[in-house]
Structure 1
Amino acid sequence: MKHASALLLSLLFSSPLAAQDTTALMGFTKAHAAEELQREKQFDQTLKAENLRQWMQRMAAEPHHVGSAYDKDNAEWMAKQFKSWGYDTKIETYQVLFPSPKVRVLEMVEPTKFTASLAEPALAEDATSGQTDAQLPTYNAYSTDGDVTAELVFVNYGVPDDYEKLEEAGIDVKGKIVIAKYYGSWRGIKPKLAAEKGAIGCLIYSDPQDDGYFQGDVYPKGAFKSEYGVQRGSVMDMPLYPGDPLTPGYAATKKAKRLDRSQAETLTKIPVLPISYHDAQPLLEALQGPVAPEKWRGALPFTYHIGPGPVKVHLKLEFNWDQKEIYNVIATMKGSEFPDQWVLRGNHHDAWVNGAADPVSGMVALMEEARAVSELAKTGWKPKRTIVYCGWDAEETGLIGSTEWVEDHAAELQQKAVAYINTDGNSRGFLFMGGSHTLEAFCAQIAGDVQDPQKKVSVLQRRKAFDIVNGGGREKYKGFTISALGSGSDYTPFLQHLGIASLNLGYGGEGSGGEYHSIYDSYDHYRRFKDPEFAYGIALAETAGRATLRLANADLLPFEFDHFYKTMAEYLKEVMETADKMRKEADGLQANLKEHLYELAADPNEPLYQPKAPQPVPYLNFAPLQNALTTLETNAKQLEALLKTDLLPAQKRTQLNALLYHAERQLVREEGLPRRPWFRHQIYAPGFYTGYGVKTLPGVREAIEQGDWQEAQEQIDFLARVFTEYNAYLEKMLTAGK
């Protein structure tokens, strides 16, 4: 078998992948397609990598977290640029809860004494790393205050499966402090689960196996996390709701009624602190108890044990619970024909520290895109639909800037928003896209029209090669797809709260490193290891710019329903297979559990803990959902035949456009998901115990995974009604197009 890199090259330049797509430009008549492609050529020629470099150096020159002087300064500077390019620009402000640390103590009190440094040292090779007066300390935002002392237990990544294995081995974390590795899930899930299991404190560290010397040379020699690097980050329980914790579901304006902090559901129940692997090593090395399973072990130079004891640690945290003003930059170019149809394009501008990669690399690409669009406007061209560029604040702390703005403008957005296009941090390598599957074919065509700056083939061809190499070969390749969106960036309130069709895109895969949320996410690090020539920043502007321009200019909005149907059918197959698998596993669970217990037992000769008797898994009636999807297949095929741009008269296109961009709204329900009504979309949601990770058909899928069979059947029937009503809406489109 060929080496992966050699195989990748052969796939890139072999004829099956090099063939160009010669189909018409989605959403455009043939005459207007030629105009649009010429316009995009002008757009590309206007883009300048030097602008990205200069702007990054300026925006990442100082720490610019929420509440900092430089956060406001950056927002005002950005607004000035947009105004100079001719955009109607304003800064919209909100007042939100933002805790910052005033006391951080972590020490081992038994069996020996050790005090954690909780600090990242400045480096001579990193010009901004020594800005200690302006930097936020290493901490997790929205951790509760606490002063706790207890035995330590190592819980691997701190995800549900890890706690199942601990319970099987008879290890209880109740009354203990847990230490978990980063990765495996979003960080906020770790203290959430620990608290549910009875722990009284939580530590999170980056193991060098995942993020350190095991991956490559550490900074400053290489890109990866040194022993002192720490990942800051929010631990707000965002799967309940993102945004300001004190104003759930409504905007955090000056006059807004706020919850008492004790009523805020998204704050953690126990204190939680991130630490470096330098500070984690003495704690983990002194642990005893059972040897950790092989898959739990990291790359630190000792045998990993689970505990509890003899290690006992003292964790003390106190925070300043302040209200801080945040600054969203909103820049608008009014549409010439449909000013009340909005194409929204956003990226956040706040960072945990200097934030060159996250988020400035994406923000400067958006700004250069907006500048290039303004250059097109100077030629006399105007977009048919209104374009709105957004620079969000307080994304890092819990998607707060975008969420408060969406909640503030919800009624208008529900009427006017055509789509939202999101980017965040950017690197070099391959194009990754996620979003509403009615835009999947649209995304594929855009990817085919952008050239990869390194390989000089389309980014679609390069992504195909990547998928074939990493997906098991040509025979398993199913074509270009976009992923479903969970959470983790500013598309969440648009898609999952209001049902606005959304995309999230960026380049990556070849710019890995350990700078994330540390003081080393700097201009110096980015220029050395991420995208030195800003070539992929330009590629990002070209990609997102095409999405923005085509949606703004389309004769017929390029939504397509066959890809949507096929994806929904795949999701239904997955949840049905999950239920079947759980039923089969229940039949032989006793033997399987004993096998796992032998792996976990410290001494195989000791008596094993008896597993709980497996619960029976009933048969669920999926017929209502299957019937609804059969109808969806029929409607999707009929719409594919109908939505041929050149065959529809202009009046019909106008009528259909109004229906097309509201189609995603039909998948939203006011009552939301079980136990979390803020999340209204019935197809895409972040997992209750995964955080960023998506759960598709979430009401059904999570009920099955949790073994709540009554709720599972209720959600199957509920989702079937959602699809039935969605089909009625598609049939309304079919009637309008005749």
Structure 2
Amino acid sequence: MTDEKPLKQALLLPVSTAPEISRRPAWPVWRLAWLLLTLFIWGLHINLRTLEGNFPETIESQRSGRRPFGRRAEEAFLSVPNASSAIKASRLFATKPHLAGTPQDLTTAVDFLQILQREFNITPPAVEPIFPAGSSESQYATRSISKAIRPYAWIDTYYPIMNTPLDRSLQILDEDGTLLWEANLVEVSDLTDPDAGQYFDAVPTFHGLSREGDVTGKLIDGNYCTQDDYGNLVEKGVDLSGAIVLCRYGGIFRGLKIKGGQDLGAAGVLIYSDPIDDGTVTVENGYLPYPNGPARNPTSYGLIGSTEWGEDFADWIDKHVVAYLNLDSSVSGSRFRMSGSPLLAHFIRDTAEEIPHPTDSGRTLWDATQDDGPLFGLANVGPSALNEEALKIREMEIAAADNVGVSPLGSGSDYTVFLQRNGIASTNGGFGATVHDPVYHYHSVFDSERWQEIYGDPGFSRHIAVAKHLGLQTLRLASSLALPFNTTHYAYELESYLETAQGIADQASLDVHFKPLKQSIQAVQKASQALEEEKRTSLKDLQKIIDDWKKRHQRRHWLARTLKKGVRTLMRGVCSVKNALGRECLCHHGKAHRRSEAVLHKQDTEEDEILVGVLLHEGYECLLGHDSTLHPRRRVPVKRLIRVLKRIRAVNKKSSAFERAFISEDGIKDREWYKHLGVAPGKWLGYGATTFPALTEAITFEKNATLANYEVERLEKLLDKLEKRLKA
């Protein structure tokens, strides 16, 4: 943009003199560390200084040297997202395959790096900033964020274990081994969808991280291959030893479908997407298949980059990160869905209620949580024609939401390491499909830019709404004096978690002593209410200081205006006399007056926000020296401000500690990588969340009262420690 104010030269990272860490060559995964961090860490430490060059400047802002923050920054940001830029970005990144570890993955990372360098006026260093994980450059880049005074961006390269197939086939043979049928494992397409047509074989059909082999066995229908489905087969006497299990996609994490078959002795597992799950949008219901219609045409390596990075910098994350906003698939249907930590549930909803609905001007983005797709069939097909099992799975997802409308987080995206291992309050969301939306071709070559522009989100209005919501949350988290965490809501959600566990224990007829845990939860509820009250009163006290300060300055400004008005009247009189005597009157006060009036008007309307912004972004120690010509700082009650700001800071630290309080170094039994005892992906769900997971699974799977009581004690100790922290 021609009116952008150039930032100073980007931070130059030093060349490492330390010996390089030797790693076995493997599939590299390029991950932009900026993408994982900047939403909060960068925003909290660099604040809105990074946004200076990206907002159009007004004459007043140029004159005063002020940067936009608070409501002004929000308004400026919300004016930016638009359809053309959203489509342009989507076409840049979504029109070519970029499977993790491939050269295209690096190309995509570099493309995004260049966008950051351009948009934030970062001078590209002489050597492209792509660092091996573990190197001194990589460590320095992340650990210096909290001290940086200007933005910089880089790429970290990790080397996890990954694989892709050299060859694969799927055949049906008769008893003597004669070939009866062979599956086409390549998705056939033409140039109707140019991306699908060009890259139809770019990502082969295979199970990630599966072993090589050639197996033959009887075919067994496993339905969704959930634990219940496998249990039903065992009850019916079906022997899975050496069998090939056929699994419908959906319901649970696909990896658990394979593990369930493996545990019962199966030789292989096939996963397919069943058109019966597509609701009313089927060929039988009158719709053409894609690419000529919205019906289904007759997967990816996930979490690797974020997990590696989250493990690598766990100590730094614990010290500097307060929250993590995740965005995976922003639009695949018409219904807005949000999941997150209970700490952020109200914040998620409140900000969504401030964003306009993408297609209905009379509603909000949050209202889209009730939206449905437009495709009900060319024939009048009622709900009875929909698959009951598929509907049940969707209803379970909806029922998981709390009374605010936000569901707990399980797994399935990059927030996993932040929440489940490091105890960072996180969110995830976007628009998902209903049974009446065009079929979303997940993990398919037809999950393409063309599908998105024609069926997924024509006009990209939903993409714009998601971008605005994400940006508004980021600005609020970065600029709010008090973190928008609701510890009381979380504390009461814990009681509902306990009630769920009690119900499961009663059904299992296990003698579990829940009373001490309930008492600990109630103590945390009481401490949380006291913390919320301290937040409210400290902010109220701060506002009183600001109001008192403003009133004093308004009186002073009134006096200044009165004097200036008198001077103007006197000067006009002098000019009248001079003109009557035929003498020229050179009066220059008009221009100066207009300038001073503009400054005073701006000061009157924005003093509250500006003072808070200065306190937040510049630090209260800078208050006396900043723009002293406009604000006589000597009369600002600095000591009172410092006292109240310390109170707010203490509240923030306690609020941030709430999520971390559920982290246990011992983790969850049989999957110790997960350390959050409040919520985790279900052991046999994968995506879906299980609350009080170690306790719930001790009852559900182990059916062990001794183990369940041990888990009750673990939770009780964590909660008692949290209560003391909140009351300190």
Change (3 A) 1:42 1:691: same
Q: 1:180 aligns with which of 243, 247, 257?
A: 247
Q: Partner of 2:72 in structure 1?
A: 38
Q: Partner of 1:693 in structure 2?
A: 688
Q: Partner of 1:413 in structure 2?
A: 317
1:128 shift after superposition: 1.2
What is the CA deviation profile of residues 153-211 of structure 1, one whole-angstrom value per residue up to 9, with x for unaligned ones?
11111111112211222212122121111112111111100011111111111221014
Change (3 A) 1:702 1:552: same
The 8 Å contact of residues 345 and 406 in structure 2, kept in 1 or not, is answered as: yes
What is the CA deviation profile of residues 59-114 of structure 1, one whole-angstrom value per residue up to 9, with x for unaligned ones?
12221112322221111111011011224111111112220111212111125611
Matched AA of 2:153: T
Q: Partner of 2:297 in structure 1?
A: 226
1:525 aligns with 2:451: yes
The 8 Å contact of residues 223 and 515 in structure 1, kept in 2 or not, is answered as: no
RMSD: 2.4
Q: Matched residues in 2 for 1:683 and 1:107: separation?
A: 45
The aligned length equals 493
Q: Partner of 1:678 in structure 2?
A: 673
1:647 aligns with 2:541: yes
Please list, as runs of the form range in 1=range in 2, the aligned pairs for 1:96-111 lying within 5 A after superposition: 96-110=160-174
The 8 Å contact of residues 247 and 270 in structure 2, kept in 1 or not, is answered as: yes
Matched AA of 2:409: L
What is the CA deviation profile of residues 476-518 of structure 1, one whole-angstrom value per residue up to 9, with x for unaligned ones?
9985231110000000001111111111121234654241111
Q: Matched residues in 1 for 2:247 and 2:201: separation?
A: 29
Matched AA of 1:674: K
Matched residues, percent identical? Answer: 32
Q: Matched residues in 2 for 1:710 and 1:397: separation?
A: 38
1:441 aligns with 2:346: yes
Tell me whether 505-514 or 487-496 shows the greater mean CA deviation: 505-514
Q: Partner of 2:308 in structure 1?
A: 404
The 8 Å contact of residues 178 and 203 in structure 1, kept in 2 or not, is answered as: yes
Q: Partner of 2:523 in structure 1?
A: 631
Q: Matched residues in 2 for 1:430 and 1:550: separation?
A: 24
Matched AA of 1:640: E
What is the CA deviation profile of residues 337-361 of structure 1, one whole-angstrom value per residue up to 9, with x for unaligned ones?
xxxxxxxxxxxxxxxxxxxxxxxxx
Q: Partner of 1:93 in structure 2?
A: 157
The 8 Å contact of residues 224 and 515 in structure 1, kept in 2 or not, is answered as: no
1:213 shift after superposition: 4.0
Matched AA of 1:404: E
Please list, as runs of the form range in 1=range in 2, the aligned pairs for 1:63-212 lying within 5 A after superposition: 63-86=97-120, 87-110=151-174, 113-132=180-199, 135-211=202-278
Q: Matched residues in 2 for 1:471 and 1:180: separation?
A: 21
Matched AA of 1:647: D
The 8 Å contact of residues 487 and 655 in structure 2, kept in 1 or not, is answered as: no
Q: Matched residues in 1 for 2:303 and 2:91: separation?
A: 24
What is the CA deviation profile of residues 616-639 of structure 1, one whole-angstrom value per residue up to 9, with x for unaligned ones?
x33211112111111122112222
Q: Matched residues in 1 for 2:204 and 2:284: separation?
A: 26
Q: Matched residues in 2 for 1:110 and 1:491: separation?
A: 47
Change (3 A) 1:204 1:479: closer
Matched AA of 2:449: Y
1:718 shift after superposition: 1.2
Please list, as runs of the form range in 1=range in 2, the aligned pairs for 1:312-711 lying within 5 A after superposition: 396-427=300-331, 428-456=333-361, 457-463=363-369, 479-509=403-433, 511-582=437-508, 617-644=509-536, 645-647=539-541, 649-706=644-701, 707-711=703-707
The 8 Å contact of residues 682 and 699 in structure 1, kept in 2 or not, is answered as: yes
The 8 Å contact of residues 96 and 199 in structure 2, kept in 1 or not, is answered as: no
What is the CA deviation profile of residues 272-291 of structure 1, one whole-angstrom value per residue up to 9, with x for unaligned ones?
xxxxxxxxxxxxxxxxxxxx
1:730 aligns with 2:708: no
The 8 Å contact of residues 208 and 214 in structure 1, kept in 2 or not, is answered as: no
Q: Matched residues in 2 for 1:477 and 1:682: separation?
A: 19
Q: Matched residues in 2 for 1:696 and 1:128: separation?
A: 41
The answer to which structure, 1 or 2, has the higher relative contact order (CA under 8 A, 6+ apart) is 1
1:530 shift after superposition: 0.7
Q: Matched residues in 2 for 1:194 and 1:730: separation?
A: 46
The unaligned stretches of length 5 or more in structure 1 are 1-31, 228-232, 234-395, 583-616, 733-738
The 8 Å contact of residues 531 and 651 in structure 2, kept in 1 or not, is answered as: no
Q: Matched residues in 1 for 2:666 and 2:403: separation?
A: 36
Q: Partner of 1:255 in structure 2?
A: none
Q: Partner of 2:383 in structure 1?
A: none
TM-score (norm 2): 0.65
What is the CA deviation profile of residues 288-323 of structure 1, one whole-angstrom value per residue up to 9, with x for unaligned ones?
xxxxxxxxxxxxxxxxxxxxxxxxxxxxxxxxxxxx
1:142 shift after superposition: 0.8
1:217 shift after superposition: 4.0
1:132 shift after superposition: 4.4
What is the CA deviation profile of residues 556-614 of structure 1, one whole-angstrom value per residue up to 9, with x for unaligned ones?
111111211221111111111112223xxxxxxxxxxxxxxxxxxxxxxxxxxxxxxxx
1:219 shift after superposition: 0.9
Q: Partner of 2:581 in structure 1?
A: none
Secondary structure of 2:338's aligned partner: strand
Structure number with higher helix proportion: 2
1:445 shift after superposition: 1.3
The 8 Å contact of residues 244 and 267 in structure 2, kept in 1 or not, is answered as: yes
Secondary structure of 2:673's aligned partner: coil
The 8 Å contact of residues 464 and 480 in structure 1, kept in 2 or not, is answered as: no
The 8 Å contact of residues 78 and 472 in structure 2, kept in 1 or not, is answered as: no
1:46 shift after superposition: 1.8
Secondary structure of 1:101's aligned partner: coil
The 8 Å contact of residues 158 and 181 in structure 1, kept in 2 or not, is answered as: yes
Q: Matched residues in 1 for 2:371 and 2:401: separation?
A: 10
Change (3 A) 1:717 1:658: closer
1:686 shift after superposition: 0.8
Please list, as runs of the form range in 1=range in 2, the aligned pairs for 1:41-52 lying within 5 A after superposition: 41-52=75-86
Q: Matched residues in 1 for 2:692 and 2:235: separation?
A: 30
The unaligned stretches of length 5 or more in structure 2 are 1-65, 121-150, 373-393, 543-643
Change (3 A) 1:493 1:48: same
Larger Rg: 2
Secondary structure of 2:311's aligned partner: helix
Secondary structure of 1:492's aligned partner: helix
Tell me whether 643-652 or 689-698 shows the greater mean CA deviation: 643-652
TM-score (norm 1): 0.64
